[in-house]
């Protein structure tokens, strides 16, 4: 630090310089985060100092967190689900595995995840000392259910299915996985970090949530398709009492026990997440998802007219292609298999898609 501070003007001119180095999302097709909804920003600012790690001081904020969990539980066909707002999908996945490993109480517990699972499971298994077993994908990049059962044994504490894979935007056959897990009395955690706020608003039904009896927990991230400010994820579990396995005593806080991973937690982002759901309602969210899906279909159709084949037909607003070079100025990403990967988040409007297609077309010429 400098001995004396600098002027506010000098400080903010430095910060705007740095802000200018950031991307503004306009040409970003590679991100699952997006520009937050204006009501999320306003709500976040209003609750900027609220710390959910000490909820007795912020009972208003804490009750909004409960409402957020209630809304998401209802959306996932289980209004009485337990839950809390996490920092994102990584924490939600870690905490789910932590609960089920404790409930199992085995000395060498293992977790069975699809090959397509997000890398957060690798972190979680490392931290929790769990053996991670992977189930191969079929040719559509969905979990090959026939291979699931042989990976499970008496030490399996949890099976994971992904509802909206990060790389290809496909949903695992959660219904079939749920039946297998249910019959084996093994909890099924559904990672719907991305898909949880897309699937319920699609025109056709894809079963993935608590309506399936085998589903024990669901992770969903408002800071992705929920258009909240960062950080806001959430973990929902079928039985609220399961969080008791994670409780520790918190002697000097306003509450006596805490089951969250983080101590201090952003209240602002949580209120922001709630604000968006409340403001848009089912119809507003459906309109957003409809738009993103329409743009996804348009991009796939446009790319294919240029001869770039889709890697798979996605369930969600993620499009992947057999394509090499990318026009300058655009941000796309690559899957582990080398496909070009794009995500049609709300900031990727129809105009942006047309602009991208035009640039791809010119590159080709």
Radius of gyration of the chain (CA): 21
Instruction: Choose which of 53, 55, 88, 200 interacts with ligand PLP (CB under 6 A).
Output: 88
Rounded Cα–Cα distance for residues 206 and 275 (Å): 26
* Per CB under 6 A, 194 contacts ligand PLP: yes
Instruction: Choose which of 162, 181, 261, 360 interacts with ligand PLP (CB under 6 A).
Output: 162
* Per CB under 6 A, 167 contacts ligand PLP: no
* Per CB under 6 A, 317 contacts ligand PLP: no
Instruction: Choose which of 28, 29, 32, 269 interacts with ligand PLP (CB under 6 A).
Output: 32
Dig out the tokens for 255 from the structure. 């509450």
CB of 264 to ligand PLP, least distance (A): 18
CB of 158 to ligand PLP, least distance (A): 15
Phi, psi of 40 (to 5 degrees): -70, -40
CA contacts within 13 A on the Cβ side of 179: 6
Residue pointed to by tokens 């897990």: 181
Q: What angle do CA 285, 287, 289 make, to 5 degrees?
A: 70
Rounded Cα–Cα distance for residues 153 and 156 (Å): 5
Percent of the chain that is helix, strand, coil (3-state, to 5): 40, 15, 40
Q: Are 29 and 343 in contact (CB under 8 A)?
A: yes
Alpha carbon distances (Å) from 226 to 173, 279, 354: 24, 12, 25
* Identity of the residue, 27 or 118, whose beta carbon is nearer to ligand PLP in the bound complex: 118
Beta strands in 211-336 (DSSP E): 215-220, 233-237, 248-249, 257-258, 318-321, 333-334
* Per CB under 6 A, 265 contacts ligand PLP: no
The conformation of residue 137, written as its DSSP 8-state character, comes to B
CB of 364 to ligand PLP, least distance (A): 31
* Identity of the residue, 235 or 360, whose beta carbon is nearer to ligand PLP in the bound complex: 235
**Considering only 5-13, 89-97, 141-149, 285-293, which stretch makes contact with ligand PLP by CB under 6 A?**
89-97
Q: Are 15 and 317 in contact (CB under 8 A)?
A: no
* Identity of the residue, 29 or 360, whose beta carbon is nearer to ligand PLP in the bound complex: 29
CB of 221 to ligand PLP, least distance (A): 5
Instruction: Choose which of 55, 169, 233, 346 interacts with ligand PLP (CB under 6 A).
Output: 233
**Considering only 9-17, 83-91, 143-151, 340-348, which stretch makes contact with ligand PLP by CB under 6 A?**
83-91
- Which residues neighbour 147 within 8 Å (Cβ) at sequence distance 6 or greater? 135, 136
* Identity of the residue, 100 or 194, whose beta carbon is nearer to ligand PLP in the bound complex: 194
CB of 88 to ligand PLP, least distance (A): 2
**Considering only 50-58, 71-79, 87-95, 200-208, which stretch makes contact with ligand PLP by CB under 6 A?**
87-95
CB of 259 to ligand PLP, least distance (A): 18
Interaxial angle between packed helices 59-75 and 267-305, expressed in degrees from 0 to 180 and rounded to the nearest 10: 30
* Per CB under 6 A, 84 contacts ligand PLP: no
CB of 257 to ligand PLP, least distance (A): 25
* Per CB under 6 A, 120 contacts ligand PLP: yes
Provide the binding-site residues for ligand PLP, judged by CB under 6 A.
32, 88-90, 93, 118, 120, 162, 166, 191, 193-194, 221, 233
């Amino acid at each position: 630090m400098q001995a004396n501070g600098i002027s506010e003007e000098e400080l903010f001119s430095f910060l705007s310089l740095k802000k200018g180095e950031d991307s503004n999302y306009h040409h970003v097709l590679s991100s699952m985060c997006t520009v937050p909804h204006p009501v999320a920003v306003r709500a976040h600012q209003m609750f900027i100092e609220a710390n959910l790690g000490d909820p007795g001081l912020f009972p208003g904020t804490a009750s909004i967190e409960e409402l957020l969990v209630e809304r998401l539980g209802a959306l996932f066909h289980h209004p009485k689900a337990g839950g809390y707002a996490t920092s994102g999908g990584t924490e939600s996945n870690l905490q789910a595995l932590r609960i089920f490993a404790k409930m199992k109480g085995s000395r060498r517990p293992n977790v069975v995840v699809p090959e397509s699972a997000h890398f957060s499971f690798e972190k979680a298994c490392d931290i929790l000392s769990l053996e991670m077993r992977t189930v191969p994908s079929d040719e559509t990049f969905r979990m090959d259910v026939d291979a699931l059962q042989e990976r499970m044994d008496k030490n399996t504490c949890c099976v994971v299915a992904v509802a909206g894979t990060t790389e290809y935007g496909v949903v695992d056959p959660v219904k079939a996985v749920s039946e297998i897990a249910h019959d084996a009395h093994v909890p099924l955690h559904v990672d719907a970090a991305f898909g949880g706020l897309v699937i319920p608003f699609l025109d056709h039904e894809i079963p993935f949530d608590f309506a399936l009896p085998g589903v024990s927990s669901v992770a969903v991230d408002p800071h992705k398709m929920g258009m909240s400010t960062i950080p806001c994820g959430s973990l929902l579990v079928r039985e609220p009492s399961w969080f008791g396995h994670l409780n520790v005593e918190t002697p000097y806080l306003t509450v006596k026990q805490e089951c969250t991973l983080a101590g201090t937690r952003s209240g602002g982002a949580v209120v922001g997440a709630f604000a968006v759901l409340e403001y848009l309602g089912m119809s507003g969210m459906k309109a957003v998802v409809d738009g993103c899906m329409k743009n996804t279909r348009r991009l796939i159709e446009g790319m294919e007219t240029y001869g770039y084949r889709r890697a798979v037909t996605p369930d969600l607003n993620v499009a992947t292609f057999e394509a090499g070079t990318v026009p300058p100025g655009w941000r796309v990403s690559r899957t582990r298999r080398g496909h070009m990967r794009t995500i049609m988040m709300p900031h990727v409007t129809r105009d942006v898609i047309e602009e991208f297609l035009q640039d791809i077309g010119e590159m080709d010429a």
